[in-house]
Every structure is written in structure tokens, then in C-alpha cells.
Chains A and B, each alone.
Chain A
Amino acid sequence: MDTIKNDFLQICEMAKKENVQVELMITGGESLKLGYQKRKLEKFEASQNQMAGFRVVDEMTQGYAYTENLSLDSLKLTFQEALKNAKTLKNENNKYKIKFATPEKIQELTFLNSAQEVSMQEKLKAAEILESAALDVDPKIKSTPYCGLIESKGFKRILNSEGLDVSYQSNSFSGYTYSLAKDGAFTKTNRSSRFVRNFKELDPKAIAEKSAKAAMKALPSKKMKTGNYAALIDREEMSSFLAMLAPHLTAKKVLEGKSLLKGKLGQKLASPLFHLLDDPLNEFGTSTRPFDSEGSPSRKTFLFESGQLMTYLTDIESAEKLGIKNTANATRSPSTSLDVEPSNLVLKLGQTAFDQMIKEHTKVVHITHITGGLHAGYKESTGDFSLPAEGFMYENGKLLGPVDQFVMSGNIFQLLQDIEAIGNEYDADGSSYLSPDVLVKSLSFAGES
């Protein structure tokens, strides 16, 4: 018996009496986290969760409510709360009549939920190696403050009063190691991780060794002289720059007047080498899904082609308001309101090898780590960034050594225009951003006077 469906049909009856439409999103799953410290198991965390979120539409307004109690009584109460919220927001200035997704064929992504039996012993062994293989690289690896294995199983289901009922399940494993290397007064850390859908593809030794070796390689770092240098942004760190661009690509931000790409469709805004795609069907992405948070079928969207802005990312409402196609990028969880966001952003491969890129300028800074994330210094309203980072300095194609304690500054839109070369390979470590290395003509670097 499909209890959820039966309960939802009862709630649809309540909605009908109130003359409103209703959508129910249910997510849930299980996760297991295992971590070793000092070669002993330190962490064993298991959780199961489920949450139901209602979106109630009263013509031009919508209200939300959520609960973790999925009994029928609780669902009815939560529906009433969402209804009350929709009524609260009633405003005669709203002109747009909100629409729900109608049932369409959804592409099945079988790779999301590959059947596999993995014993607890195998998982514990993987977690143990994620620490020990890093410690075994060199005595200078003093600890791995964070390391472990995460197993996730999840499901998502959306039902609405237009007859839509879509769902999918997914499972994944992530292994990560964060190594701390110490040599005299110098300390360096490095995080390496890998996301896989099939346990057999997880190589914990490779993850741990990569992390340890990268931490060692950065010892001993020096400060650099303040100045302007060419920047070679590592493929793994390019995600930060794509994340800066992401909100500007959404039609919701365009409609709110917050996107700096407003009114620029069809314009050449980036280097001709820049081709960017939103790909919710990509097997290696962590934001892969067969439908978006309104239940619209996922599809690929070309955002930039040869530097030209092709479209914005949309949901049903923003697509209709702008008169462009729905790209199915509605995003929400049961406890949040509807937003528009990219799924997996994929920067198309270029043709230049790393070894070639470091020779393109007299001095090139290879940016391998943006240390503070974006909140340390990115301003979305202007596109300006000032971000602390670490990396390696090259001169005439030769490695001078690791550099740290510097801040690189610029503007994301200028950076897109200043791209001089794009690398010819990806690392499929698993992320919602897939990018090769990117060479940028010049950024401002603050270090020693």
C-alpha cells in the first residue's frame, strides 16, 4: 500500500475545499560516517531521517511548512500551516498566477542507485586506510585531523495536486583525508576526497596518499611579493570561481535585479575559450538528478558558448516571466522555499596541457587552494573578490616553490574575459563543478611589501 500517496490524496481533498493547490516533497535516507584517529576507530555515526514539506499555492501566493513527523495527523497539521502562510502573504500587487509542474516523462538514471552489498568490515577497512595510508607516507605527516568514509542513501519524491508523482533513489560513498604535515616551524594541511556511486571505485589509499603528498609538497611555503601575476587556477579550485558566477546565471536573480548578467543575453562576456554547461544528468556530478524540485524533467543547458551568454537558468515561474525556456533548475528541500540554482556546472575541456600553461608568462602562480572559501571575501552584488589562497610560484616554466599567506583580488566578470587557456583534462573526484585548469592573464596578489 502506498501510504504516502493515500495520505496525499486526502490532503488534496482538503486543498480542494480551500480552493488551493498543494505540492508535497518528501526526502529521506540513511547515512553512516566512520572515522579513525591515531589508528583507532574514533567515530561511528549512523542516522536516518525523513522530512515532508508542503507548498500551498493560493493563485498568486504560496506558503510553506515542513515536519519530520510523517503521520497523517501531522501531515494534515503541516498542510494547514502552509495554507495559513499562503493566506498571510496575500497581496493584490502580485499578478503572476503560480503554476505547478504537470506530469511528463522522466529519464531514469539507473547509475544513481546501483545495487551493491558492502559489508561493515569492508567499510571499516576503507575508513582505517583513509587515515593510515596518509600517516604512512612520511613521518612529517603528524595527523589527519579529519578523515573518514561516508555512506549515503537517499530518496526524494514530489507529488502535486496536478497529478504529478515522481521519485528517485540514490546512493553514494565519499572518502576524505585531511592531512597535516609538519617540518620544523612549518605546518601545512591538505584535503583530498573522492565521491563514487559504486564502492568498488573508491580507492582509499589513493585518496589518503594524495592528501599527504600534497601537504608535504607545500612545505616550506614562503610569502610572495605583492604584485600582479598570471594565475593558473587549479581544476579543483575553479569550483570557487564557478560558484561566484552561479547566482548571476539564474533568472530569479535577474528578475530580482540582483544579477549582473541582467539584459546581457546573447552578448560576448567571456573569453572565446569559455564554454559552460549545466548538466543535471552527468554521471560524475554530485548534484545529478532526474527532475528538479518542482518535478520538471532534468535536461542539459548550454549557458556560455564561445564566451557568449546563451540563456539563464530557470524554473517554471522565472521562465514564463522572462519568456524563455524552463531549464528545470528549481531547487528546494522540504524545509526551504523555492529557488533557482545550477545542478552540475561543467566547464568544457580546452586544449592546453598544464606544462604548457606554466610557460605562458614569466611568472605564473598556480592556485591550489582558496583557504577561506567565498565568504572570506566575495561580494556577489559587484563580482569583486579578495580571497586568501595558497599555491606554487613558477618562473620561466620552472617551479620556484610553494607560496602562502597571500590574497588574490579581482572581479569574476573580468576574470572570465581574461582567460587565456583552458586545460585538457578533468579530475573526476566528484563535485557539482567539473572543470579543467584555467589560465588567467593577471590577478592582483597581496603578500609581502
Chain B
Amino acid sequence: MILPEIRLQKTLDAALSTGADFADVFVEETYSSQLSLLNQKADKAIVGTLYGAGIRLFFGEEIVYVTTNDLSEEALIKTALMAAQARGNQKRLASAFQLKASQFDSIHTYGEKPWEMNRDKKFQWMNAVDQHARSRSSLVTQVEANLLEKFQKVQIANSNGLHKFDQRAYSRLGVQTFVESEGMKESSHDNAGHMGTSELYDKIDLKKLAVENVDRALLLTKAKYAPAGEMPVLISNSFGGVIFHEACGHGLETTSVAKNSSVFCGKLGQKVAHESVTAIDDGTIQNEWGSLNIDDEGMPTQRTTLIEKGILKSYIVDQMGAKQTGYQATGSGRKQSYKFAPASRMRNTFIDRGTDKFEDMVKDVDYGLYAKKMGGGSVNTGTGDYNFSVVEGYIIRNGEIQEAVKGACLIGRGIETLGNITKVSDNLKLATGMCGSVSGSIPAAVGQPEILVSKMTVGGRA
């Protein structure tokens, strides 16, 4: 625990003193470390601690949220009273609840804490990535590696008597290589990480990470610009899942649905995708990047089936979303830190494996694009318009993957694209990503097997 239970009880009592329907307090202590290596030299070392609390009150569907850096009893009560008096006006006589701390078994396992681990070891991993990249090609002009570690302790209590404590570790190692070939400069970046501590890098193949990165940058120096226009697109697995994240996932969050500003509003039980599509949002996968034990509202995480064989089965629901829409909360209240009020957010979100074979899917395309490696993307949930970039792409001609192309951007409308998915392979993979939305930037994994979309707009050069 970060703070004694009695202090949280008094804070919540103060928060409810003017008639709020509900109150919760989120206390956080987070250690962060950022180390980087630039051109074989240790370049940056930054460590720090976040320490604060957010107090949230519901007055009907109105949310009051206040934060403080001062976790003394006096300051917490003062902050809670400020929140209570901001909107409330009734007098409440006595506390009607008693906090009761509850224990649970963690799904996840952690090794050495980031502040305990020898720093030289961390630089050794980054140095190894640098060396592997440089050994791969003499055309490498620069290598940057960085290691981001976060260890978050959270304590959550609410006026229903809930009181829980949890610890979440995150570690992510990134590499960016720059190459120059015959006057053409290109770069490529990639990363590996998990919900967990950094011993991961003793187990994963750092050479593969570096070599693939260099090879991609070199490939791009020779690639021509992607064509422009509408065509079939075969999207790879792993980070290819960003398409579902953008095209559909955000539109299923009650943050949009409750405001009637999602194209998926009112479509529960209806067909929203091709029957080959089953989509899951799963917080229970051990040590996976977007996993949790409990969400930031204290609810146990769960595996939620969003779409089953094309039929919309569930939205992504936080506590306020549940109150506004009447749907059951799915343990999806998440936020970057105590500085943000929680909102309905994705965890590990993916299209589930199908039955098609990748080779057969390629053969289905006369002329189209194979999007092998995706970049970032975004969505307008109101219109369903999404976009994302293709970092590494290839032209498919007469059922064969041919020359590499660069500079492609894929756009479309969520529901149309879901309907245009015609095949789903049996090779599911997940990848790490950072998702930004109203409650800040949070770790969220994306994923899918390879999928074939019969028609998408490819933004390349006309």
C-alpha cells in the first residue's frame, strides 16, 4: 500500500460530504527511467518519480476530478472538499460505507525492479543492438537505442468500499537505424517490450531486432513510391492490427458511444464486419503489453469479445460509460497517470485467428499492396474515417509479392473496411503500441493474423 486505509476513508468521506453519488481516489507512485545510446555512446539518463492522487466524484452523469501532489491527510481532505464543493450543495450526514482492502493473485510476474538492476547491464543490451546493426551493413550511418522502464504502484479506493493495491511494470527497448546508400538516406525504427521488467532482453533475439531494422532501412533506399488509388490490400499480422485499433476499437469505447458520436452507436447485435472477423479486447494475457490485473477504477480485468463472426457483441465500457449507456463495465477504465480522469480504453485488442493460409491470400490478388510493416495511425470516431501509414510495403502482381514500395498511407471508413475483409489467416501475432486519447497515453497491444481487404484507398504518388 502507498497510503494507510484510514486516510483514504477520510478522503472519501470528505468527497461525499455534499451529496455526490460516488467517489473514488486513485493514488500513484511511479518510478520512470529513460536511458539512451547514440552512436555507441551512452547519451541520456533520466530518472524520476511521479507521486500524486486524483479524486473523482459523480454527480449524476457529471464528473468532478481533482488532483494533488500532496498526499498528506490534511491535503487530501482539503482537495476532496474542494471537489465536493465544486458542484455539490447538499449536506450528507454520515459515512455509509467502510473501506475493505482486498487481495488478489497477480496474473503477471516481474523480475528485478528497474532501480535495482545494474545500469551497466541495461547499456550492454543497447550496445549489443548497436553492434548487431553496424555489423549488418557498412551503410549504417547512425544507430540510436533507448530503454524505457516504468514501475507504477497504484492504490484505488471508492465509496462502494473497494480498496485495492497493484503494481505494474513496463519495459520497452527501441532501436532506430539510419542508412545512406548512393546518396539516398533512409531510417527505420522498431521496438520490443512487455508488461514486465527488463530481464526480457536476455531472452529475446536482439540480433534479429537490429538486423531486420537495418534491412528495412536499406530496402527503403531502393524502394519506389507506392502507387495511388483504390486496390486490394493484404495487411500483415502483428502491428498490422493497428487497423482494427483505429478503424473499429476507438469507435467501440463508451467515451464516443455515450456521446452518440461513434458510427458503432446502436449497432449491438448487428452485423458490422465480414463473418470471418472475430475481435477481442483482452487484459488477461500474462505479461502482455496492454494487460492489467485491475483497471484504473479497481475492476478486475477481463477478456471481452467485441465482435463475434461479424456481429457486434460488446462495447469497451468504463464505470461512467456503464452509467451513461446501461451496458456492463468491462474493466476498461484506464489512464496515463493520476493526472487524468479514467476513460474507456483498449488493452490488448486483436482480430482473432481465422482459417486461411497466407500463401493462398497472396494468390488471390491480381494487383494490390502487401502492407508488411505498419506505422502510426488515427481515427475520427465521429465519421469512422481512419488512416495509418505503411512503413514497408510491396506490390502484389498476379498472385506474387514483388517490388518494395514506400510512402504509402491507407485510409478508409471503419465499418466499410470491416465489411471488406474477405480472408483472415491462422497466424495471429501481437505487437506493442502506445495509444493516445482523452485519458492520456497508455500501453496498448494491437494484433491480428494476416487479413485481406478487398478494397482500400492507398495514398501514394499519382
Contacts and interface: CB of A to CB of B under 8 A. Distances in A.
Interface of A: 37, 40-50, 53, 63-69, 78, 81, 85-86, 88-89, 91, 93-94, 142-143, 145-146, 180, 187-189, 223, 226-228, 256-258, 260, 335-337, 371-373, 375-377, 379-382, 384, 386-388, 404-409, 444-449
A65 B237 CA distance: 39
B343 to A, nearest CB: 11
B408 interface: yes
Contacts of A226: 228-229, 462
Contacts of B117: none
A86 B45 CA distance: 8
Given A375-B375, A377-B459, A88 B42 contact: yes
A41 B58 CA distance: 12
A189 B382 contact: yes
Interface of B: 32, 38, 41-52, 61-69, 82-83, 86-87, 119, 141-142, 178, 185-187, 225-226, 228-230, 256, 259-261, 263, 339, 341, 375-378, 380-389, 406-409, 411-413, 438, 457-462
Nearest to A37: B259
Nearest to B263: A187
B46 A386 contact: no
Contact of B459 (A85, A86, A375, A409): A409
Contacts of A67: 48-49, 51
B62 A44 contact: yes
6 contacts: A43-B62, A66-B49, A93-B41, A256-B38, A372-B388, A446-B458
Given A68-B51, A145-B381, 16 more contacts: A41-B87, A44-B87, A50-B69, A63-B45, A68-B49, A78-B48, A257-B178, A371-B380, A375-B376, A376-B376, A384-B406, A386-B389, A444-B228, A444-B460, A444-B462, A446-B457
A376 B388 contact: yes
B66 A45 contact: yes
Contacts of B52: 49, 68
A373 B52 CA distance: 32
Contacts of B186: 381-382
Given A44-B62, A49-B67, A68-B50, A377 B389 contact: yes
A209 to B, nearest CB: 18
A47 B44 contact: no
B462 A228 contact: yes
Given A69-B51, A143-B261, A405 B457 contact: yes
A143 B265 CA distance: 13
B63 A68 contact: no
Contacts of A256: 38, 142
A366 B47 CA distance: 46
A379 B49 contact: no
B66 A89 contact: no
A381 B188 CA distance: 9
Contacts of B263: 187
Given A69-B49, A373-B378, A446 B65 contact: no
A66 to B, nearest CB: 4
Contacts of B457: 223, 405-407, 446-447
The 6 closest A-B CB pairs, nearest first, are: A407-B459, A446-B228, A85-B45, A66-B48, A375-B376, A145-B261
A387 B386 CA distance: 11
B63 A65 contact: no
Nearest to A145: B261
Contacts of B377: 372, 375-376
Contacts of A65: 46-48
A68 B458 CA distance: 46
A386 B45 contact: no
A386 B69 contact: no
B462 A388 contact: no
Contacts of B382: 145, 180, 187, 189
A64 B46 contact: yes
B462 A372 contact: no
Given A66-B46, A89-B42, A371-B387, A45 B341 contact: yes
Nearest to B255: A145
Nearest to A146: B438
A417 to B, nearest CB: 17
Contacts of A373: 378
Contacts of B259: 37, 143, 145
A257 B69 contact: no
A30 to B, nearest CB: 10
B409 A407 contact: yes
A26 to B, nearest CB: 12
B45 A145 contact: no
A46 B460 contact: no
A67 B46 CA distance: 11
A227 B462 contact: yes
Contacts of A336: 46
B65 to A, nearest CB: 4
Of B385, B411, B413, most buried by chain A (CB within 10 Å of CB) is B411
Given A226-B228, A376-B387, A85 B68 contact: no
A44 B459 contact: no
Max chain B Cβ within 10 angstroms of own Cβ: one of A46, A49, A78, A260: A46
A387 B409 contact: yes
Given A407-B228, A447-B457, A64 B389 contact: no
Contacts of B65: 43-46
Contacts of A189: 380, 382-383
A40 B324 CA distance: 13
Nearest to A372: B387
